[in-house]
Amino acid sequence: MTTSINPPRILPDVAFDAAAAARPLDWVGMSNIALPLNVASGTGETLQVAASADVAVNLAKADARGIHMSRLYLELQHAFTGEVLTPAGLRRVLQTLVDTQAGLSSAARLVLRYEHLLLRPALASEHAGWKRYPVEIDARLEDGHLHLGLRFALEYSSTCPASAALSRQINAERFAEDFADARPMSTAVVRDWLASPRGLAATPHAQRSRADVHVALRPAFDELPLGHLIDELERGLATPVQTAVKREDEQAFARLNADNLMFCEDAARRVAAVLSGDPRVERFDATVSHFESLHAHDAVATVAGHGPASASPEG
């Protein structure tokens, strides 16, 4: 009895056909690829997050019909296994993506989207909670140079300065009305009045607000500064929305809002002050949106600028 071994089948590959209307293409690839990523949590730990990836290379050879698309997908599936996302890792992956194309490409681009989680302590109590921040990393390798961009958003509370001034006026008028004939007036009586419902004749309007930030990063740093930038911006805005909240935390939050009355213009300037002083930032643009409780529309301000003139790799 003899056994015949069938030779491997040769499958057609039309990618090697000549291209009609031949010309180079800027980017060719795939979008919305599911991918797990390992990212720093900000507490010294590593978290695995579910990401969506867009991957592409340029088609530099004008008469080539197409790229080796499946090679990009397969390479991406294990590209970041076992390592935290870093600029060096992104550069390595991008160069590998170019190499898979066997001379068809000279540049690669990778866009990664995910929700970054940071553990945030309460303002006054011993509690803490996780907070999520939508993130997009845009990494390109062109002519041997790595270009890195970060997009992310953070939420904060904004209390209107005009509304606060108008409320104070009404409170003062009620005080004058209630104490018009009070003689003498003791501190204890005034304190009790302020703590009563009569002591709050009007309240300023406040609303949840959001800063959408885009930064182009300088390539001289070993880590993606996402957590650092979020921390600095939340400190600059001073009223980030909270996670775990007990009564003492809510009171502390109310005090922060009173100490940081903000129009959208004020918030945009605070964001710009942080980003323009960060040595990791080459340039930035940001939009702050106050989702008004007074109006049916939003108040919006946009600002753009550059980081410091020279970068230092410290920190």
Please enumerate in sequence order all residues whose Cβ is within 8 A of that of 279, keeping only pairs 6 or more positions apart, or say none.
218, 307, 308, 310, 311, 312, 313, 314, 315
Nearby residues of 197 by Cβ (< 8 Å), 6 or more positions away: none
Average pLDDT of span 203-223: 93
**Mean pLDDT score, 12-31:** 83
**pLDDT for position 313:** 46
Tokens of 315: 């920190």
For the chain, how many helices (H) and strands (E)? 7, 8
Q: Would you say residue 311 has pLDDT above 60?
A: no
- For residue 279, give the nearest of 311, 243, 313 by alpha carbon: 311
184-196: per-residue pLDDT in tens? 888 999 999 999 9
Q: How far is CA 39 from CA 88, 117, 134, 174, 234, in A?
A: 14, 9, 13, 54, 20
Percent of the chain with pLDDT over 90: 80
In angstroms, the first-to-last Cα distance of the chain is 74
* pTM of the predicted model as reported, rounded to 2 decimal places: 0.88
Range 276-300 average pLDDT = 96
Q: Is 23 within 8 Å of 70 (Cβ atoms)? A: no
What SS3 state is found at 277? Answer: coil
Q: What is the pLDDT at residue 315?
A: 39
Contact 209, 158 (CB under 8 A): yes
